[in-house]
Amino acid sequence: MRSGIWVLDRHCNSMGFMHGGMVSSFADGALAWAVWYETRKMSVTLKLTTSFYGTIRPGDWLEARPRVISSDNGVVHVTTDMLVGAALTARADAVFRVLRRTLK
């Protein structure tokens, strides 16, 4: 599973690269989709940690490649590498709580 976003000027800070909050928000969404794919249930983020390794510029295609690490008792641990081309620019790790209600 993959998610991607074209980085626009509006996603960037005054220094000209993607704002860390935007990177984290993108990662949260990509990770939530991975949880959905694994469980077919809605979930909420309990914890999200983002590490940054490089800058992401306007015009870049940022791609997330999320993986479910474990799923037990309604708690799902997920991680994703975020790449621009072959370059690792960020990584996010999260814990989600699966909700009882399912989507139809």
Q: Distance between alpha carbon 16 and the CA centroid of its chain, in Å? A: 21
pLDDT tens sequence across 72-103:
999 999 999 999 999 999 999 999 999 986 55
Radius of gyration in angstroms for the set of CA atoms belonging to the chain, rounded to a whole number: 14
pLDDT tens sequence across 28-76:
999 999 999 999 999 999 999 999 999 999 999 999 999 999 999 999 9
Domain ranges of the chain: 3-98
- 3-98 domain in CATH 3.10.129.10? yes
Is pTM beyond 0.85? Reply is: yes
DSSP per residue over 55-92, as a string? ---TT-EEEEEEEEEEEETTEEEEEEEEEETTEEEEEE
Tokens (6 digits) for 66: 């999320």
